[in-house]
Amino acid sequence: MKNINYSTITDINELETLRDKSAFKYKFDDDLIESLKKYFILKDSLFILAKSEGDFAGFCSIDRDWWEENYFMIREILVDPKFHKKGIGYELMTRCIDHAKQKGADGVVTETAFDNIPMQKLCEKIGFKKWDNPSWKEGITYKIIF
């Protein structure tokens, strides 16, 4: 999409950009931002912001904190509703997947709610497959193997 700039968050304080943004059924509040900070400092983590003319358009993060060795997890993805259906989520996720490939990962996983149909469609479009996760039954886990 034109006029969308993607940048890597390099300063943990930039996570404040996410404060009060909403994603599906939850909000980037104090607890969620504090949680993201612990993943931000992990080796090989990547946090990407998308902006349009300086305004927040989207965010995605990926890190190695997954229980299967050498897999990355797309931890969070959020696209501002006014930017839906413009390819931003696809671009953010594929950048995160490319990052995991460059770091030598065997694959990437992500999780979403049963009723988050847009995320499910995005995962399937990118090539993720539903995976029966023995550790999480509150939603759907998706996995892509390289």
78 vs 30, 59, 134, CA distance in Å?
A: 16, 5, 26
CB atoms within 10 A of CB 81: 9
Give pLDDT, residue 22. 85
CB atoms within 10 A of CB 104: 9
Give pLDDT, residue 111. 96
Confidence check: pLDDT of 23 > 80 = no
Which domains are assigned to the chain? 4-145 (3.40.630.30)
pLDDT tens digits along 102-131:
999 999 999 999 999 999 999 999 999 999
Give this prediction's pTM: 0.94
Give pLDDT, residue 1. 52
Confidence check: pLDDT of 140 > 90 = yes
